[in-house]
Structure 1
């Protein structure tokens, strides 16, 4: 009797064939289900808009003059909370008829509040009527960024070149310069395309900023200035600031307790470290012009 006849006549040995047929049928059904496309392949998943009621501050409030630094810090702080789309507009907010609009609006109110809390009171009235956080952000950029204002760019360069430490601390004059430099970079970005030209431009800019920082320092840092200018290669402005800061700390630690000023002043430690035999060692040839 053939296998087919066994199945038809109900032969007991046909159970194996029945089991095989059942397994094969299940296998084909699952394969077809896995190969079927999703019901709505083009329909994106619904975004989830989170809210964050915790306060957010960036250290100082926008006063109109510190916009370049403030905007960078504020953007990074909001981005760190995962809500930067509320000031960039990417992705776009949902339509008012969208079921997620209320959720998005609650999140936007959080960012709106953060912006207002980081603006000086006298400026709040100018933005309080804006409908969304992005409207506030764009309004502030239009009012204070003014990237093409030649008069502002000129004033920034003038301030960077004429700033003096005066009665301020070393940290304060350094922070003032950094704020000016950041504003210059925002208002007049480097438009060069060639990598070599970009590198040369950046090196020259860094060197100019080193000169501006040293020019701003008080006369008590004269030894520091001379020794920094003799270094080869020249340090960055930030490295020079760190050198001056270390010498400032050394001078404070070694200040005499009898009220008399120290004999060598600020920079003596750096000066001695570079010239261990100051009384006999000759000055380096070819560098007296740079040292002043």
Structure 2
């Protein structure tokens, strides 16, 4: 029979164990642990063990049982099953390094120490950089905020808070929330300088969701009062028409220099405040 080469598919074999599912002793997936695939292999092993309620044998949350304990036979059998998963899914040149270790936890920890390359730290660092460098850059507020929230969620998944003391945990959460408010405000476009300053003067500084709502309302107000787009970047022609001291075209017709948007606004009337150039749907007295 030909030797199995690196990356060959492992045939799925099932060994019946009394009192367990017929799948409990099957190999969890179809390729072996090599020198370069630890990250994928370990994730798939965790999923397989969790699905069968055996992850505690990897992490040590299901502790070893003394030989004279009534539960030793059951624990020893299940630990051997998990050890089998680990050892059967290794390349032959790696198998000899771990086969003599006594428990699944010992094998799991030894493999992790051998192959862990710090990639999680590198990814966490990249996410931290992205959280501080992300900018609005003319986008709508909700798109900018959604991108930041996605980065924060990835950070939380990679490094959850593990403090035991309730007071310390609360303090750390408050500090983290304030840092995210600073990241959000720092990335806003310059048109929001005023609302940014107002938020920073508040005591205490509001949470990130409230800050987002304050900035969003300011964005809507600017759209209504200034006629700019939701990105807060006025078109060049509109800026030219509103610049102080701007001169009309040489033919003397100032109306020909106005945008169609300005001309259309002249026809609007608000029945609520009796104002012009807007309607009740965008009235500042109603909507703020």
State the TM bucket, normalised to the shorter chain: 0.3 to 0.5
Which protein shows a greater Rg? 1
Relative contact order (alpha carbons < 8 A, sep ≥ 6): 1 or 2 greater? 1
Return the TM-score normalized by structure 2: 0.37
Of Structure 1 and Structure 2, the greater helix share is in: 1
